[in-house]
Structure 1
């Protein structure tokens, strides 16, 4: 017997989207929300990894800005950015792997 009630706040657009999805599936709003809440896999990303990637990207950005400043000041004639390119490639590969992992998890639902 269903004897508990749950109240949530949402925008008109969110309610409209919920109603559209539930109608497409020919479900009541209540049944649709229960199915979505109880049968969806929730993906939790490791925030430490994301923070590390963000930090690395920030450091690379700082390095690029420093190089640009030196170039604009005329203190650098030839810029060797192979190390920077290598680091950007590493970060890109990690982000791409993360994207693929999340996509794979979402497809398992």
Structure 2
């Protein structure tokens, strides 16, 4: 049985519709879910560069896995992690900037 059994019809301009649709698409929600979350005072945070964060973290994770394998194989004993540290620091600073923007 559906838990949402009430229907509300609203009217809006084409521009308003497009704005809401665009916001809902950005957070990967359908319009109903987006409007309900917005109206019920649930915070909706959009992080424009999330894919960039994810890509960078994935690359760092892959690099760390490769270094771990090389260490276990005895092919290296003291890997230089300076580039990884710098990348993680850059990501950390970007996350802090985003959080300050939304809070």
The verdict on a shared fold, with TM-score over 0.5 as the criterion, is: yes
Gaps of 5+ in 2: 1-6, 10-37
- Tell me: higher relative CO, structure 1 or 2? Use CA pairs within 8 A at least 6 residues apart: 1
3-state SS of the aligned residue for 1:76?
coil
* Deviation for aligned residue 1:50: 0.7
Q: Which residue of 2 aligns with 1:6?
A: 8
Q: For residues 7-40 of structure 1, give each alpha carbon's deviation from its aligned partner in whole angstroms, at most 9, with x where no partner exists.
A: 9xxxxxxxxxxxxxxxxxxxxxxxxxxxx72988
Mark the runs of 5 or more structure 1 residues left unpaired by the alignment.
8-35, 104-109
Structure with the higher helix share, 1 or 2? 1
Aligned to 1:78: 78
Q: Matched residues in 1 for 2:62 and 2:42: separation? A: 40
Q: Which has more radius of gyration?
A: 1
Task: Provide the aligned C-alpha RMSD in A.
Answer: 2.8
Change (3 A) 1:79 1:39: closer
